[in-house]
Amino acid sequence: MAAYRTNVISKEKGNFVVPAFLTPATTKSSLCSACSKSHTTNNGRLLLISLSSHWTIDWPSMAAPETSTAAVPTLYTNNTLRNAFGGVLSFFILLLIGVLAFSIRLFSVIKYESVIHEFDPYFNYRVTQFLTKKGIYDFWNWFDDRTWYPLGRVIGGTVYPGLTLTAGTIWWLLNSLNIPLSVETVCVFTAPIFSAFASLATYLLTKEVKGAGAGLTAAALLAMVPSYISRSVAGSYDNEAVAIFALIFTFYLYIKTLNTGSLFYATLNSIAYFYMVCSWGGYTFIINLIPMHVLLCIVTGRYSSRLYIAYAPLVVLGTLLAALVPVVGFNAVMTSEHFASFLVFIIIHVVAFVYYIKGILSPKMFNVAVTLVVSVGLAVCCAVIAVLIALVASSPTKGWSGRSLSLLDPTYASKYIPIIASVSEHQPPTWPSYFMDINVLAFLVPAGIIACFLPLTDASSFVILYIATSVYFSGVMVRLMLVLAPAACITSGIALSEAFDVLTGSIKFQLPGVSSDAGVDAGETSSDTTEARNDEVKAEKPEETSKDQFSKKSKKKEREHVEKPSAKSKVKTKAEKKRLLALPLEASVVSLLLLIVLGAFYVVHCVWAAAEAYSAPSIVLTSRSHDGLHVFDDFREAYAWLRHNTDVDDKVASWWDYGYQTTAMANRTVIVDNNTWNNTHIATVGTAMSSPEKAAWEIFHSLDVKYVLVVFGGLIGYPSDDINKFLWMVRIGGGVFPHIKEPDYLRDGQYRIDSQATPTMLNCLMYKLSYYRFVETDGKAYDRVRRTEIGKKYFKLTHFEEVFTTHHWMVRIYKLKPPKNRTRGKTKKSKSKTSSTSSSKRSGTERKNPWH
Amino acid sequence: MEAPIRATEFLRFTLLSLLFFVCRSSPSQDLLISNAERRIDLTSHIVKVYLTLKVENAGSTPTSEILLAFPPTQVDHLATVEALVTKGKRKKTTLARLDVKPTELPDAPNGTKYFTIYLSNPLNSGESTTLEVLYLFTHSLEPFPAEIGQSESQLVYYRDSALILSPYHIKQQTTFLKTPSTKVESFTSVEPTNRAGTEMKYGPYEDRPPYSFSPILIHFENNSPFPVVEELVREVEISHWGNLQVTEQYTLVHGGARHKGVFSRVDYQSRPNLNGVSSLRYLLARLPPRVHSVYYRDEIGNISSSHLRTDSRKSELEIEPRYPLFGGWKATFVIGYGLPLQDFLFESSDDRRYLNFTFGCPLLDTVVDKLTVKVVLPEGSKDPSAVVPFTVEQHLETKYSYLDVVGRTVVVMEKKNLVPVHNSPFQVYYTFKPIFMLAEPLMLASAFFLFFVACLAYLHIDLSIRK
């Protein structure tokens, strides 16, 4: 088994070793002859033991080529055969994992339909449509005048283009092959395809860290981890879909460079990093995590030229490439998020220089030089750091964007930026959400971390750092659970694979037919020999790594050599462990079964989560009642109505949640949308929604708005409607326009819409638009979301008229009445009806209306 | 309130008819119509006119051409004209379809348009024959008032002549009009005029000279929705692997009185009989039998409100637009379905293949302003030719579909102003060699083969400089 785990590392050639039970008997016998020869050269005692060692650790298969030249030809062919089998097997397992990752995400298509989900994906879809229609140059220069009216938005410069360009390229490729798939289809299936790629990347990364077994386990875990599924089901066409792949792949290439010290991989790493920067704002995680790891390596005395090669090109090339992305631009060198990488860049050079100096100077001279340099350098450093701190402190947000700040200080957002705090995915997660999103992985992660320490390599220390940081970040924001998921999968994969190794090893060890004494002996002696061999190979190691690697073939061969040492050390520990952890047969079988049950539980949970929890597109709702499935398709009903029955240049005002959908599905100009870049503009809409009718009309009229769209769930009990979001509108509005005060809308600190509600609440526009003529549906005006009868049942609208309400009342669209309709008599009447507070409020809002 | 309008129109039409009298120069004075009966059906938004003419040849020479005349305002809305002749006597009467073609006459008074009916047997001197003529008008009911609220019912004008416009002398004629309900606001009276229930009777009028015209205007309630498909593109894709894929793209509009002001869902749901009576709630599409994989969607996704009923003779697809269509409201959607190829593709005697498919729009009771039928022939088919029972504009296109190299020939046929009568079969003939069916599988197979060979080669070639 150990051979399986170690040899597999030389993967390029497909050198997987099939576990012993898979190899034909003939192969085994020939192997025996070969290795017995090899062992006798080392140790005369080993003949008998090596026989048993086939059953236990199986290491001769990899040890033989190095030790005995005579044995090489036959052994080599046999090995190749076994490796080929292993390679094919792993290839098919990976293929199946890819298929699994793809198909588990199709529940949404099967249960609902092939449609874009939620909010942000609609924007991405719209951008992709634009890209495919107009081409790349128009895309970069796209100024979108259909959103943020009257400001507009420069899409090309403010969007992470990775996802769009990826899907656009796939579409273009398919169409140039005359496969006429629609842009929508391509967009819907981008996320599942990239999940399959992400599984592959996880396999590669984990294989670099702990071998192919762990790699396959981690890939299988990642293929169905619910946290990732939640963001990558078919139709969830969002940045994260491709970004997670890019993230894992960048990490893989970093580890690969770290293990090989190859500049080729370092360059690839920068390109992968560039793709990540294109795809997601989360790239800052990479550009902070990798420096942290480098620093860790330096501090723990693990500095090597490989580390330098892995890091320095990444910073230089990566930063240059990142600056090419318009949305990042000079941020790549100017914001605090990137400072860590530059600092570590300086440090690594200093360290490299010190190592170099150390190499050419005598120890005594070196000490003198150190004291000299340290005293001078300290002064310079202090000055530089002081300047840096002053620069950072002079900028208002201290150089950190709001979202990043809220990462460091979880209470930052809720204190200062209501617009960030109002988004549910920016809230800290609850404990159940951990169980929901990573399930049993949460228990396996600690075991995996321990496994990473045995032995601690550069790669495994990276995994430990990765899991530690991502656990912290996921604790800050629900959304970053997504970053945790791959880390959890990798560590859990390592844990599971190690546990399986130990358990199956112990079982094999005690299989009937093999004498237990021999087994124990084998364990001991083999560990001895490997140790001995290990030492000599370790000595070879630096030379081999330093060899240049031009030819592919020789490179492959070399890699085998290079990797074997580390493999060897694993074998050693494995053998030691074996001796220590030769568990009783019953215990191993039982724990093996328990592990399988655990895995089965995970699979069941993931399938359930994929099918039930995360597949709803949220624009179509279904409910199962006794008379079958009921579909609530109200959102699209309203958007389709807007699209076909309003003028093409009409402006539609709604809360920003529905901005992207309105532009994409209804093709109408909106005032605010989900790209919440302008707080004042959003606050204006929030103010309008929380103002009384006339003041709201004036604000909307000044913004050229023709229709107002509100989402109302009171009739059917749809909880995420505008009344439930209303307090955020008040808060955001009040944050900019102080005449909107949150306490005015709360009765004794409680948010309510029943008869106890405050008059301000009952007279605000949102209340009126939501509940207009609601009482006529059931006679009582019972709100099924708030589970209460509403406070004010009968009222008329004077400045708005209802133009469309969907079938289940979920979306209500009102039209602003033209100004001339305000006859004097009517306003007087309404003035006398409503309390004096509202009229005074009206005059107040008129004065403070920012658009006059 | 409408009196002045009607008065002026009446005056104009009287003047027109006077003019007709003055400049009568009929093409053939030999024929005369001894009896004419016209039944105008106004119940739906397609006006159906059944005309029974008893034609007599009073001249000396046999003739086989009979002219029908239409005023220019009507001819624009004329969707189809069909003529049948009754043959045999008493119980053994059979109907035979006759050719009808539009004809230009040099001295047509006031832009009158003509259609010529070609009799199969010339009408000899002194003989008489009975013709059944059916013609349909679209967009001929003008909503008045043009904009109505949600709770109002839809009233429309219908304009016609009490006398049949004809280049021949008509001895006796009667016109019956059938309205959808008894609610008739007003109508022009041309004595003798009777109204009983939903039927109105103009006539009988005796001995009217050619080109007599007497305009009438009827203002009545018609609450049936006016589904008008502004544009319909039907694409029929033939796959010789056994499937016929039909995709239909609709732009639907409610052609009735425009909706005005508020749409209140609570009124619409609680009082469906009083509110939005003329709104378009659902449509019925009649599809061929054995239809499969039916979908109904629009540009933003599936529309979940549809029902499919299939039996051995036909399939009915009941679809609801996303929202009820009020007057002037629009909706676009796509219906697609697959059909077994053997029901529609046949081999003709000269070794060619032909597709036999229905031309018009499968939605019942709809007017189609513009229809484009595209027949996508399989890749490699040659010499396409279409046989359509009426005149259409034709041209060829090329379409590239799954893995095509040379592209597929598309026969495009366009026609304007269609009614359900146009749902008649048409044929597209083409030659096709079955070997072309294997082109794409072979291409794929060879591509994969080459890929594997390339992989094999790559693995066995050592390009390294240093051994």
pLDDT tens across A439-456, in order? 888 888 999 999 988 888
**Tens digit of each residue's pLDDT (9 = 90 or more) over A680-731:** 888 999 999 999 988 899 899 998 999 999 999 888 888 888 888 888 888 8
Dig out the tokens for B60 from the structure. Answer: 């000396």
CB B336 within 8 A of CB B247: yes
Q: Do A551 and B331 touch (CB under 8 A)?
A: no
Closest A-chain CA to B297:
A113
Question: With a CB-CB cutoff of 8 Å, which residues 284-303 of chain B face chain A?
Answer: 298, 300-303
SS3 state at A295: helix
Query: What average pLDDT score do residues A222-244 get?
Result: 90
Q: pLDDT tens digit string along A445-499?
A: 999 999 988 888 889 999 999 999 998 888 878 888 888 999 999 999 999 998 9
A75-84: per-residue pLDDT in tens?
Answer: 566 777 777 7
Q: Which of B266, B332, B401 sits opposite A776 (nearest CB)?
A: B266
- Between positions 258 and 277 of B, the ones with CB within 8 A of A are 261-266, 270
A620·B403 Cβ contact <8 A: no
Establish if A648 touches chain B: CB-CB under 8 angstroms.
no
Please give the Cα distance from B252 to A42 (Å, whole number).
Answer: 88
Strands (E), B8-127: 31-41, 47-57, 63-70, 78-87, 94-103, 113-123
Percent of chain A with pLDDT over 90: 29
- Give residues with Cβ within 8 angstroms of A378, minimum separation 6: none
How confident is the model at residue A606, as a pLDDT?
92
pLDDT at res. B460: 86
Q: Mind listing the pLDDT tens digit for each residue in A588-639?
A: 889 999 999 999 999 999 999 998 888 888 888 888 777 778 888 889 999 9
- Residue B8: what pLDDT? 52
> Would the CB atoms of B465 and A550 count as touching at under 8 Å?
yes
The reply to whether residue B304 touches residue A801, judged by beta carbons under 8 angstroms, is no
Whether residue A180 lies within 8 A of chain B, CB to CB, comes out as yes
Inform me whether the C-beta atom of residue A547 falls under 8 Å from chain B C-beta atoms.
no
**Residue B9 confidence class, pLDDT cut points 50, 70, 90:** low
The pLDDT of residue A294 is 92
Q: For B409-437, how does the pLDDT look when each residue is reduced to its tens digit (9 = 90+)?
A: 999 999 988 888 888 899 999 998 888 88
Mean pLDDT of B387-406: 88
Which of B151, B323, B448, B455 would best serve as a mutation to test chain A binding (most A beta carbons within 10 A)?
Answer: B323
Task: Inform me whether the C-beta atom of residue B323 falls under 8 Å from chain A C-beta atoms.
Answer: yes
pLDDT in tens, A773-826: 888 888 888 888 888 888 888 888 888 999 999 988 899 999 998 886 555 554
Mean pLDDT score of chain A: 78
Chain B positions touching A665 (Cβ under 8 A) are 300
DSSP state of B342: G
Distance in angstroms (rounded) separating the CA atoms of residues B463 and B458: 9
Q: Which residues of A touch B271 (CB under 8 A)?
A: none
Report the mean per-residue pLDDT for chain B: 85
The CA R_g of chain B, rounded to the nearest whole Å, is 28
The model's pTM is 0.81
Query: What is the per-residue pLDDT for A524?
Result: 39
In this prediction, residues B210-216 reach a mean pLDDT of 87
* Coil/strand/helix, residue A751: strand
- For chain B, the maximum distance between any two Cα atoms, rounded to a whole number of angstroms, is 113
Is B467–A554 a contact, with Cβ atoms under 8 angstroms apart? Answer: yes
pLDDT-derived band at A399, boundaries 50, 70, 90: low
Does A160 have pLDDT greater than 50? yes
Q: In which band, very low, low, confident or very high, does the pLDDT at A42 lie, cut at 50, 70 and 90?
A: very low
Q: Which residue of B has its CA nearest to A800?
A: B262
B464 with A551: Cβ contact below 8 A = yes
Q: What is the pLDDT of residue A410?
A: 61
Residues β-bridged to residue B202: B175, B193
Token pair recorded at residue A35: 């290795």
Distance from C-alpha of A392 to C-alpha of A374, rounded to nearest angstrom: 26
Q: How many CB atoms lie within 10 A of CB A249?
A: 24
pLDDT at A427: 77
Q: Does ipTM top 0.90?
A: no
A174 confidence band (pLDDT: 50, 70, 90): very high
A179, B403: Cβ pair inside 8 Å? Answer: yes
Q: What is the pLDDT of residue B306?
A: 84
Say what the pLDDT of residue A789 is.
86
* pLDDT score for A50: 36
d(CA A663, CA A660): 5
Per-residue pLDDT at A26? 36
> Which chain B residues are Cβ-neighbours of A808 within 8 angstroms?
none
Q: For residue B414, what is the DSSP state?
A: E
What is the pLDDT confidence band of residue B263, given thresholds at 50, 70 and 90? confident
Q: Tokens representing A808?
A: 């289940």
Determine the average pLDDT of the residues in B314-322: 89
Task: Find residues 554-583 of chain A whose CB sits inside 8 Å of chain B.
Answer: 554-555
Q: B172 is written with which tokens?
A: 């006796």
Residue A274 vs residues A316, A324, A403: alpha-carbon distances, Å: 12, 9, 21
Amino acid at B323: Y
**Hey, which residues 34-53 in chain B have their CB within 8 Å of chain A?**
none
pLDDT at A830 over 70: no
Contact, B304 vs A634, CB < 8 A?
A: no
Cβ-defined contact of A636 to B301 (cutoff 8 Å) = yes
**CB contact (8 A) between residue B402 and residue A115:** no
B463 neighbourhood in chain A, CB within 8 Å: 551-552
Set of chain B residues whose Cβ sits within 8 Å of the Cβ of A180 = 400-402
- Quick one: which H or E segment has residue A232? helix A226-232
What is the per-residue pLDDT for A256? 93
Secondary element (H or E) of residue A402: helix A402-408
A762 touches chain B (CB under 8 A): no
- Are B408 and B236 spatial neighbours (Cβ–Cβ below 8 Å)? no
Who's near B140: CB < 8 A, 6+ residues apart? B47, B74, B77, B158, B159
Share of residues in chain A with pLDDT > 70 (%): 76
Predicted confidence (pLDDT) at residue B225 exceeds the cutoff of 90: no
Nearest CB to A178; choose among B328, B329, B400: B400
Q: What is the pLDDT of residue A416?
A: 67
Nearest to A554 among B298, B301, B466 (CB): B466
pLDDT in tens, A746-776: 888 888 888 888 888 888 899 989 998 888 8
**Among the listed ranges A391-400, A520-529, A582-591, which one has the minimum average pLDDT value?**
A520-529
For chain B, what percent of residues have pLDDT higher than 70? Answer: 92
- DSSP characters for A89-103? HHHHHHHHHHHHHHH
Nearest to A551 among B302, B323, B465 (CB): B465
